[in-house]
Structure 1
Amino acid sequence: MNFTIQNVLIATHDDYATVDVQVVDSKIAAIAPKLDVIGAVFNGSNKLLLPGFFNAHTHSSEMWQRGIMSAFPLELWLAELYDFAPLDLEKVYLSALGTAVETLLSGGTSVVDHLVLIPGQELETIATANRAYQEVGIRTFIAPLIQDESLAAGMPSGESPQNHEPYFRSTSATLEIIEEAVKKFHHPDAGISILVAPTGIQLCTDALFTGCIELSDRYDLCRHSHLLETKAQEKLAQEKYGCTAVEHLNQIGYLSDRTSLAHCVWLSDRDIKILAETQSTVVHNPLSNLRLGSGIAPILKYRQAGVNVTFGCDGASSNDSQDLLEAIKIGSILHNVTDLDYQHWITPRQSVEMAALGGAKGLNVADKLGSLTVGKQADLVLYDLTNLSLLPRTDPIGLLVLGRPTNIVDSVWINGQQIVANSKVTTINVDELRQELFKHSQWETKRKSSTVAQIETHYRTVMDLPDSK
């Protein structure tokens, strides 16, 4: 699709300019005032144009449990999640649609889905999520969530070594599934990429990590993982490796400029230096880290060390939302309380760059996406600056990042194709999606997890918490 956006506001180095933007063959062809019209014309008056943001870490299927999860730390929260997460392919499809729509309407044009796989239907799960994302038209990085150790292995043993049940699927079988997924679904030029994505050191053997490294190198895939989300994982790493998780992942070769790591809350200064040296990316998920009591990731330290940082919503039952602008706001101003030197604080313009170009760098597509640059692909978001939540007029990006903007996305283009027009997703029927999500769910209040009951005493012991009342 060829088109011209006329008289639109864009950010310059330290100000704004009103320009025309030409898109030809799905790429930005020119940015300047008063350009000749090419193709369809869009009125950009009183609107702000930005590159699309990346929702750089989420779990779409968690949508089915948002709003009900107990106030638990991650290790117990996961036990409850798994006890009440019998998925079917229809729910995988609907929650992927919902994740895509919410991401689009909060400024995101790309999503990294650390996708939970239905046992025995792994490839069907990936195919179903893929179908949903293609129908919406959002740019998608599917990161099938894999592990080869059972849930109990994710907690430190402390002074009472635990015997863990073997995982139901072998490491080699898991790697075969991922390779088959790459062969079937990895089509970056069509907007769908597959990532290798072991869930994290807490539930994965070195054999799984090294197998993923081999697949990543063979098929030129990006790598993704959770990393040191909780204090318990920091303890576990010392038990397993006798060093930090970052040091170990660096030793086995998992860290690279194609590696993005979600959370990164409990890292040492030496760990941070390793991330900078390996050019690994940190995906900051502030809302889930607060919701689960995981801690505050030292994002200002990362930025000062030269580590690339971007934002993610995380799954909708540890955040309870897929509002990317909310994650960006909290993930920026949260750190003002961690450093008295205000010159280190994250400005709104830096937040926008982290959300767009930072996400592109983490997925090895910064040469194609992440900024309004001639020659890059047209993943663009147009914001309505006359919306009540962006008034009265001051600094447009300041209003966008620091305010509570609602219904402010006017238009979205992905690879030059318009996906949102007049604040409505045009590719699917969102009213029908709402009805289906309602029909496939029910009002719930309290529930009890049998697995939490089994492991809570051990968790409290190894985390030096008093006995439960």
Structure 2
Amino acid sequence: MTFTLQKALVPVDRGYSTVDVQVVDDRITAIAPNLEAIGTVVDCQNKLLLPGFVNAHTHSSEMWQRGAIRPVPLELWLAELYDFVPLEIEQIYLTALGTAVETLLSGGTSVVDHLVLIPGKEIETIATAVRAYKEVGIRAFIAPLIQDESLTAGVPSGGTEQEHDAYIRSTGATLALIQDAVNKFHNPSEGVYILVAPTGIQLCSDALFTGCVELSERYNLCRHSHLLETKAQVLLAQEKYGCSAVEHLKRLGYLSERTSLAHCVHLTDEDIAILAETQSTVVHNPLSNLRLGSGIAPILKYRQAGVNVSFGCDGSASNDSQDLLEAIKIGSLLHNVTDLDYQHWITPRQSVEMASFGGAKGLNVADELGSLTVGKKADFVLYDLTNLSLLPRTDPIGLLILGRPTQVVDSVWVNGKKIVGNGQVTSIDVDNLRKELFDRSQWVTNRQSQTLDEIEAHYRSVMGLSEKSGYS
């Protein structure tokens, strides 16, 4: 694959420049005005070229429950989610395709899928997601979601005696499963990466975390996890460890420059200092944090402390979308109300850097991805600056981040291969995907979650809420 992008608009200090970009095989070989054309020529006049964003945290299979779960906090939301979790391999395949397509059409070239596994079909689940992502051509960081404690263990006891069922799989079997997945599927040269990814302190033992650290060190894998998404998890950490979850994960050796942590809503200043010291990355998921009432993560504090921050959509049942541009906009503007000093507010250019370079850094691939730099991989996106939602002409990046851009992605390349052209994903049949998603689903209202009903009274008691009054 050899091609030349001609007359693309790219951001430079204090403005923009019109340049040509040469690509040979999968890498950028030159960036300058008026380069000699090599290979296929792509006319980029009136188009903005940016490095691909990273959808740094999502759960693809949640798409089957998009828009279906009523407004409840995470612990109750999870109860309903797992009561209706997809149990068919074909469902995993279709929603991985859908997640990839929506990510691409909102500026993403990489996705971190904290993948829910079908019990008894764990390796087949991972294989199916790998197949879907490779067919689309997006760069896929697959983080099989693992735990070794049952769902009820994720709710604080509040000092009461609580009994929890044993989890379906032992800690040792879970770690062996991940090692098997690494052996079968981890292949960065083909754009597929396996991560170790315990779901979080609320449902994972110390043995699972330390086992993941050992696998990470042995195979040079990145680490991923949820962290302190809710106030309930803060209480739970104190019950389990007698200290903050961040301090405990540091003691276990889980935090590092290869560790990305989703949410991080309820951290203290001391916790933030630990993240900065260990060079861990925070993945900001603003829309699910709002949807589930989890809170507003202190992103400005993270940035001021030197903590790397990236953006994620989170899953399609807690967002309920995979529109990365929307997540970036909300995740930037939300913090204007958390700090009176406007000089700390996130600018559109900083948002772009967080979504691209910040995402790459959190996945230990910043030397290969995340910026338009000679020698780096050709993962980039062209935006159509003649699109109505990016007009009239002012600041292109300001329009992209602060506005409500719709259908503005013109073309996308991943690993030097063009997989979106003229605003359409070309690597798969999207019309057929839409038909399959429609035909395999049905309109749903007023469904009842047995698990939610079983734990709701205890949750309300522990969180100091009045007795349940019902929903309308």
Whether these two folds match at TM > 0.5 is yes
- Give the aligned partner of residue 178 of structure 2: 178
In the alignment, the residues of structure 1 paired with residue 336 and residue 101 of structure 2 have an alpha-carbon distance, to the nearest angstrom, of 31
Q: How does 1:160-179 map to 2 (within 5 A)?
A: 160-179=160-179
In the alignment, the residues of structure 2 paired with residue 25 and residue 294 of structure 1 have an alpha-carbon distance, to the nearest angstrom, of 44
**Is the 2:28–2:376 contact (alpha carbons within 8 Å) kept by the matching residues of 1?**
yes
The Cα of 1:159 is off from its aligned counterpart by 2.2
- Give the aligned partner of residue 137 of structure 1: 137
- Give the aligned partner of residue 80 of structure 1: 80
- Give the aligned partner of residue 60 of structure 2: 60
2:135 corresponds to which letter in structure 1? E
In the alignment, the residues of structure 2 paired with residue 56 and residue 231 of structure 1 have an alpha-carbon distance, to the nearest angstrom, of 23
- Give the aligned partner of residue 325 of structure 1: 325
In the alignment, the residues of structure 2 paired with residue 114 and residue 154 of structure 1 have an alpha-carbon distance, to the nearest angstrom, of 18
In the alignment, the residues of structure 1 paired with residue 49 and residue 304 of structure 2 have an alpha-carbon distance, to the nearest angstrom, of 28
- Give the aligned partner of residue 248 of structure 1: 248
Q: Which whole-Å deviations, capped at 9, do the CAs of 1:107-165 have from their partners, x for residues lacking one? A: 00000000000000000000000000000000000000000000000010002121111
Q: Which whole-Å deviations, capped at 9, do the CAs of 1:425-466 have from their partners, x for residues lacking one? A: 110000000000001000111111111111001000110111
Q: How does 1:155-304 map to 2 (within 5 A)?
A: 155-304=155-304
- Give the aligned partner of residue 24 of structure 2: 24
Structure 2 alignment gaps of length 5 or more? none
Q: How does 1:431-450 map to 2 (within 5 A)?
A: 431-450=431-450
The Cα of 1:86 is off from its aligned counterpart by 3.5
2:416 corresponds to which letter in structure 1? G
The Cα of 1:14 is off from its aligned counterpart by 1.8
SS in 1 for 2:210: helix
- Give the aligned partner of residue 428 of structure 2: 428
In the alignment, the residues of structure 2 paired with residue 85 and residue 190 of structure 1 have an alpha-carbon distance, to the nearest angstrom, of 30
The Cα of 1:271 is off from its aligned counterpart by 0.1
TM-score (norm 2): 0.99
Runs (4 or more) in structure 1 with deviation over 2 Å come to none
- Give the aligned partner of residue 146 of structure 2: 146
SS in 2 for 1:225: strand
Identity %: 76
The Cα of 1:70 is off from its aligned counterpart by 1.1
Q: Which whole-Å deviations, capped at 9, do the CAs of 1:354-412 have from their partners, x for residues lacking one? A: 00000000000000000000000000100000000000000000000000000000000
In the alignment, the residues of structure 2 paired with residue 145 and residue 159 of structure 1 have an alpha-carbon distance, to the nearest angstrom, of 29
In the alignment, the residues of structure 1 paired with residue 236 and residue 90 of structure 2 have an alpha-carbon distance, to the nearest angstrom, of 36
2:396 corresponds to which letter in structure 1? P
Which range is displaced more, 185-194 or 22-31? 22-31
Considering only aligned residues, what root-mean-square deviation do their CA atoms show, in Å?
A: 0.5
Q: How many residues align?
A: 469
The Cα of 1:246 is off from its aligned counterpart by 0.1
Q: Which whole-Å deviations, capped at 9, do the CAs of 1:93-115 have from their partners, x for residues lacking one? A: 00000000000000000000000
Structure 1 alignment gaps of length 5 or more? none
2:51 is the counterpart of 1:51:
yes
2:265 corresponds to which letter in structure 1? V
In the alignment, the residues of structure 2 paired with residue 426 and residue 226 of structure 1 have an alpha-carbon distance, to the nearest angstrom, of 33
**Is the 2:86–2:92 contact (alpha carbons within 8 Å) kept by the matching residues of 1?**
no
- Give the aligned partner of residue 368 of structure 1: 368
**Is the 2:64–2:86 contact (alpha carbons within 8 Å) kept by the matching residues of 1?**
no
1:152 corresponds to which letter in structure 2? T
Q: How does 1:398-413 map to 2 (within 5 A)?
A: 398-413=398-413
**Is the 2:52–2:381 contact (alpha carbons within 8 Å) kept by the matching residues of 1?**
yes
